[in-house]
Amino acid sequence: MSAENLSVESSGAQGSGVENSGVESVSIESLDLGWLTLAPSTLVFIVLGLTLAAFIWGRFRYDLVALTALLGSVMLGLVPAGSAFTGFGHPAVITVAAVLVLSRGFERSGVVDIISNQVLKVGENLLLQLLVLVGTIVLLSGIMNNVGALALLLPVAMRLAREHNTSPSLLLMPLAFGSLLGGLTTLIGTPPNIIISSYRREITGEAFSMFSFSPVGIAVALAGLAFIVLVGWRLTPKRSGQASTDEMFDTANYLVELKVGEESKAKGLTLQQLRDELDETIPVLAVVRDDNRRAGYNFHGALEEGDILLLEAGPDELQMLEDKVGLSAIAELEEELEDDSEAQDVEHSASGKEAGKAKKKDAAQDQQRVDTEGLQLIEAVVRNDSMMINRSVRQLRLNHQFGLHLVAVARDGGRLKQRLRDIRFKNGDVLLLQGSENEISDSLASLGCLPLASRELHLGQPRKLAMSVAIFALAITAMLFDLLPAAVAMSSAALISLLIGVLPLREGYQAIDGPVIVLLAAMIPVGEALETSGGADLIANALLSFGSDWPVVVTMIGLFLLSMLLSNVVNNAAAALLMAPIAVSLANGFDVSLDPFLMVVAVSASCAFLTPIGHQSNTLVMGPGGYRFGDYWKLGLPLSLVVLVVAIPLILLVWPL
């Protein structure tokens, strides 16, 4: 069938089911500026063009950009003022929020312990490591949020890389892409599926079911998994020296001991007074007094003569500490030990010399033990939605507000050498932090950081896996037998999880990704404005004209490529919201079923394999893997082509025109 002589009438919400979506149907008038008259569709294109430019620029967070687009559309008359915020009650938004809560419950239920114990048994074979890691995350991403699944397996992958001396760059990008592939398999696997399902319900009165996406999604995921394991991993860069915390941060080379001398200005000061005196956030990791060691965060008394402070500092900080508060560096202590040994060498016999050397060796070993013994250190990566982004240590009040000391920061695979107080955090930064074992997990969750690996720190939560699985299974059963809509079933499951204590209420609220919810709620009315203004019809007509001499499948491929490219520069949920009306207009223009076109959007909107900004999973592995912006397309482009080649024929087979 060709598109020749076919066109789509700009009929507002006709045939779209918008009247059922909560947005009132209105007649949008042109904007008359006197010297210039702008049609509603032109206004929508201007708003969306500016919105996409702001998304790509990245200067402002995407939820703020989406909210600005919504309010701008209201002021231009594209979205009725009374319906501006109906998106916050949209079933897709509610379902996404509920799935995020359930995903956090899985994270706390002990899943990570079970998985890590099994995955770590795979041995040194890289192909087997990739198969187990990527295969596991594909399964998990089908039943939970993509980022939640990555949060479970990222520490496991890092530990696996370190134990077998493998560069994590070979594991982490395949792991991130696997989380996106797994999301294709079920309704709740990824927000685009939920959005497309809700959009279909508004148009036809019937939503896609839980496993409507599975025939195509599972086949695409398996094809992607096979490609990654057999070929794709060879296309990822091998970054050397990233498998160890010590190698990434080189902590031992920066941990120094400073002694409080008789005339030191630091004598009599508390650690907080010392920081105030220095006007610098210096992380004191520990204080040693009379061979008794106390962690810096737990030392509240005044410093005394002879105290030894273990802290992280570079040459500039050492000089400042010497000049301002008179703290003696460890080098001076070593010189004293050497002088004592030389005196003993003159006074005693050869056996005495050996004893002196042994004493020096023991002292050096004691110093080395001080570097790591008992430190509560953890690696964490800054998420895209973290409150830390573009803020400094001082602004965040990490020590006072969260009980954390910042030891080091790594960015793009290497440790930052600038002063810690001057660093403004970016998403994807890897942090080395010290804190109380009992509180560090809550602090990281509040800050929006994802733990990677730790030293002497147990992140395991109470094992409530059975209850989590049972609640989730009941919700899926209710959806399969059409007992409850997806939004109601998932919300009920999330509520029960909170009521019976699978997840604390505070953490349940923290699990709801505010920026994503605002993005969805704001872009839903804007996406509907694209349809009611006739903008979607104009784009569809252009595609129909372009493909008038070609089979329908060629236009579907064009729709796939357009949606996929869009998802690599904006959030995948926003891509689905914008492309769904265009897909419906194309189907109407060809006078064929809506389903294959909607499925094309669902699959392609989740294929953000080309850039680190297309999806949070891609961004989260950038720092730990030492990747650069241009590394992603090397694996992402051929993987996208594999998905395209597998998905289009299957969509036409399962969802015929």
| Closest C-alpha among 252, 251, 285 to residue 364 | 252
**d(Cα 434, Cα 415) in Å, to the nearest integer?**
17
Does position 300 have pLDDT exceeding 90, yes or no? no
Q: Which of 318-332, 470-484, 619-633 has the lowest mean pLDDT?
A: 318-332
DSSP string for residues in 147-184:
HHHHHHHHHHHHHHHHHTT--THHHHHHHHHHHHHHGG
Buried (b) or exposed (e) across 77-88, using 16+ Cβ within 10 A? bbbbeebbebbe
Q: Which of 109-113, 135-139, 145-149 has the lowest mean pLDDT?
A: 109-113
Does position 180 have pLDDT exceeding 90, yes or no? yes
Does position 125 have pLDDT exceeding 90, yes or no? no
Does position 320 have pLDDT exceeding 70, yes or no? yes
Task: Say what the pLDDT of residue 183 is.
Answer: 92
Exposed / middle / buried, residue 391 (Cβ in 10 Å: 0-12, 13-18, 19+): middle
pLDDT band at 647 (very low <50, low <70, confident <90, very high): very high
Bigger pLDDT: 346 or 184?
A: 184
Average pLDDT over residues 164-181: 89
Considering the entire predicted model, what is its pTM?
0.70
Task: Say what the pLDDT of residue 239 is.
Answer: 66
pLDDT band at 324 (very low <50, low <70, confident <90, very high): confident
Task: Say what the pLDDT of residue 316 is.
Answer: 65
Torsion, Cα of 181, 187, 190, 196 (10° steps): 110
Task: Say what the pLDDT of residue 547 is.
Answer: 66
Average pLDDT over residues 188-203: 90
Q: How many residues does the chain have?
A: 657
List Cβ neighbours of 350 (8 Å cut-off, separation of 6 or more): none
DSSP string for residues in 29-81:
PPEE-SS-EE-HHHHHHHHHHHHHHHHHH-SS-HHHHHHHHHHHHHHTTSS-G
Q: Which of 68-72, 121-125, 292-296, 367-371 has the lowest mean pLDDT?
A: 367-371
Task: Say what the pLDDT of residue 437 is.
Answer: 67
Does position 358 have pLDDT exceeding 60, yes or no? no
**d(Cα 524, Cα 542) in Å, to the nearest integer?**
23
